[in-house]
């Protein structure tokens, strides 16, 4: 369960990036987070992984009160949450296998378990035959698949995806969405920030729309809409 309770976030010298946000996301849900640039989508995702603290309000992720948890426990929260980035954030001097395995190595998993778990997730994302290639040898879609594999290899309960299809062509974008849907079917909660209207409209999953740092709508079977008042007149 993710619970965001009357959360606001202000940056120095700016108006609220988020203002009085209240949202609950049950375990196993798949949620699209949409809205125009600057609406607060990335800020909300960063708050969930304790990359920053809210100015006001409280955030809970399962057993953790994210606001008050000791700094020494943040790594435990982040093991619980896998994160997928638009710009991949892969280590270019490491192979696909090494990029995916890194998190397991850091927490001291046995070599045999690492090999088995990395092989399983690479098969899930369709990269079993690419395990020994370096990121620069991959297409953009393959790099994003590697990013997803890295995010899920530790078995997180939650995956946050920040514009994971933003740099991809339409066909590859759908491939990435199919993988995230498979991850969700395994019981993982998925929260995806996106500007991809076609994906949101076709999949008709729960859709939370942010505008000017506030929740404009929260629909069980939503569609992509940004009201005219949020666009500048030409």
Cα(62)–Cα(27) distance, rounded to whole angstroms? 9
- Residues of the chain with pLDDT > 90, as a percent, come to 88
Is 176 a domain residue? Answer: yes
Q: Does 37 have pLDDT greater than 90? A: no
Q: How confident is the model at residue 226 (pLDDT cuts 50, 70, 90)?
A: low
Give the chain's domain count.
1
Range of the domain at 183: 28-40+74-223
**Whether the model pTM is above 0.95:** no
Q: What angle do CA 139, 34, 63 make, to 5 degrees?
A: 95
Is 85 a domain residue? Answer: yes
Q: Does 27 have pLDDT greater than 70? A: yes
pLDDT digits (tens, 9 = 90+) for 47-106: 999 999 999 999 999 999 999 999 999 999 999 999 999 999 999 999 999 999 999 999
Query: Tokens 């435990």 identify what position?
Result: 76
Higher pLDDT, 234 or 209: 209
What DSSP state is assigned to residue 204? -
Q: How confident is the model at residue 222 (pLDDT cuts 50, 70, 90)?
A: confident
Is 21 a domain residue? Answer: no
**Sign of the torsion angle spanned by Cα atoms 184, 102, 126, 171:** positive
Cα(220)–Cα(78) distance, rounded to whole angstroms? 27
Is 189 a domain residue? Answer: yes
Q: What CATH number is attached to the domain comprising 157?
A: 3.40.50.300
Average pLDDT of every residue of the chain: 93
pLDDT digits (tens, 9 = 90+) for 126-147: 999 999 999 999 999 999 999 9
Is 213 a domain residue? Answer: yes
Q: For residue 155, which phi and psi values (nearest 5 degrees)?
A: 70, 45
| Average confidence (pLDDT) over 37-47 | 94
Is 143 a domain residue? Answer: yes
């Amino acid at each position: 369960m993710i619970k965001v309770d009357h959360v606001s976030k202000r940056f120095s010298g700016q108006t609220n990036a988020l203002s009085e946000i209240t949202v609950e996301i049950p375990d196993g849900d798949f949620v699209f987070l949409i809205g125009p640039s600057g609406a607060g989508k990335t800020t909300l995702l960063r708050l969930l992984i304790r990359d920053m603290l809210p100015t006001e309000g409280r955030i809970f992720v399962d057993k953790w009160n994210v606001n008050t948890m000791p700094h020494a426990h943040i790594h435990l929260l982040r093991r619980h949450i896998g994160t997928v980035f638009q710009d991949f954030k892969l280590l270019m001097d490491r192979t696909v296998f090494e990029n995916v395995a890194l998190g397991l190595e850091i927490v001291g998993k046995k070599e045999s378990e690492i090999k088995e778990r990395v092989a399983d997730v690479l098969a899930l994302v369709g990269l079993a035959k690419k395990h020994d290639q370096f990121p620069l040898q991959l297409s953009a879609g393959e790099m994003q698949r590697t990013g997803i594999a890295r995010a899920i290899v530790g078995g997180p309960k939650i995956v946050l995806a920040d514009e994971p299809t933003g740099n991809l062509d339409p066909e590859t974008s759908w491939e990435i969405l199919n993988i995230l849907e498979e991850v969700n079917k395994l019981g993982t909660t998925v929260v995806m920030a996106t500007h991809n209207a076609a994906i949101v409209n076709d999949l008709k999953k729960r859709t939370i729309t942010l505008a000017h740092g506030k929740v404009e709508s929260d629909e069980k079977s939503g569609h992509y809409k940004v009201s005219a008042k949020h666009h500048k007149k030409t």
